[in-house]
């Protein structure tokens, strides 16, 4: 059952953007109550009270009794517009409700018994597809939340809306059997990145032998010098290439 609480508001005389801006300059948040057989009612709310109510996860399922001009009206919060820069509320919409009024509101989902899920015990991850479910119902039949039991779920299992028992008169607005959550397999890292310190140490260790090889007297430097002197035999080879003159015939 939704919680019913009273909400203190102030009445407003004028509508329009100019009047709304004047209300904000006065330190209040402009709003409106609409619906039912009555005309829309202009109201103004204390920003501190409105922000406090918005922090409640059941803000859009609670019923607020608003008293204006000595008359109480049962309302539900439909929408709150926020400033794009400061995120402060700048306008609030409330809907006037009766016992037979049908409303569409999101209901938060709560997950229970994670420790009783074999899939989660072996390293599986709870993948939440929907944190809330929009339902259609009369205001007095709305639940505070929807419970999902994870007992016995293995890796690869999923929970769909048809497996959830909703209160009588409460129906999801989506007709298909949509997924609420799954138990996903664990993510394993197969490649480990080398740290910068290890990489630098490997590079320094590889550079040291190269310098030592160049300094060795009979190692790398000697063949290089010999390679330069090897041109001499090549020149001699050119002279040797001249064919010997044949002996003179007697």
Question: 188 pLDDT band (50/70/90 cuts)?
Answer: low
Domain boundaries, the chain: 4-98, 104-184
pTM for the whole thing? 0.63
CA distance 81 to 166: 30
Q: Name the percent of the chain lying above pLDDT 70.
A: 74
**pLDDT score of 99:** 78
Name the residue with higher pLDDT: 64 or 195: 64
Q: What is the phi-psi region of residue 88: left when phi exceeds 0, alpha when psi lies from -120 to 50, beta otherwise?
A: beta
pLDDT (average), residues 95-121: 91
54-90 tens-digit pLDDT: 988 888 888 999 888 778 889 999 999 999 999 999 9
CA distance 73 to 64: 8
Q: Is residue 94 predicted with pLDDT exceeding 90? A: yes
**pLDDT score of 200:** 52
According to CATH, the superfamily of the domain at 104-184 is: Ribosomal protein L25, C-terminal domain (2.170.120.20)
How distant is the alpha carbon of residue 66 from its chain centre? Answer: 36
Looking at domain 4-98, its CATH class is: mainly beta
pLDDT (average), residues 162-187: 93
**pLDDT score of 48:** 93
| 146's tokens | 């929807």
């Amino acid at each position: 059952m939704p919680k019913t609480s009273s909400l203190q508001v102030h009445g407003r005389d004028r509508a329009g953007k100019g009047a709304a801006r004047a209300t904000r300059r006065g330190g209040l948040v402009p709003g409106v109550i609409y619906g039912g057989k009555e005309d829309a009612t202009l109201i103004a709310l204390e920003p501190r009270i409105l922000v406090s109510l918005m922090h409640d996860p059941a803000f859009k399922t609670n019923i607020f009794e608003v008293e204006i001009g000595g008359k109480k009206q049962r309302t539900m919060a439909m929408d709150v517009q926020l400033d794009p820069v400061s995120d402060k509320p700048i306008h609030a919409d409330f809907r006037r409700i009766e016992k037979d009024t049908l409303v569409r509101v999101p209901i938060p989902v709560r997950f229970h018994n994670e420790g009783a899920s074999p899939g989660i015990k072996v390293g599986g991850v709870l993948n939440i597809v929907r944190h809330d479910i929009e339902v259609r119902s009369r205001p007095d039949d709305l639940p505070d939340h929807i419970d999902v039991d994870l007992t016995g779920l293995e890796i690869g299992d999923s929970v769909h809306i048809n497996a959830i028992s909703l209160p009588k008169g409460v129906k999801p607005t989506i007709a298909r059997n949509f997924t609420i959550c799954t138990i996903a397999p664990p993510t394993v890292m197969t490649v480990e990145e080398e740290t910068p310190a290890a990489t630098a140490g490997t590079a320094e260790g590889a550079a040291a032998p190269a310098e030592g090889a160049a300094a060795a007297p009979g190692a790398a430097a000697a063949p290089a010098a010999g390679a330069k002197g090897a041109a001499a035999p090549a020149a001699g080879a050119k002279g040797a290439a001249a064919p010997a003159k044949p002996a003179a015939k007697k």
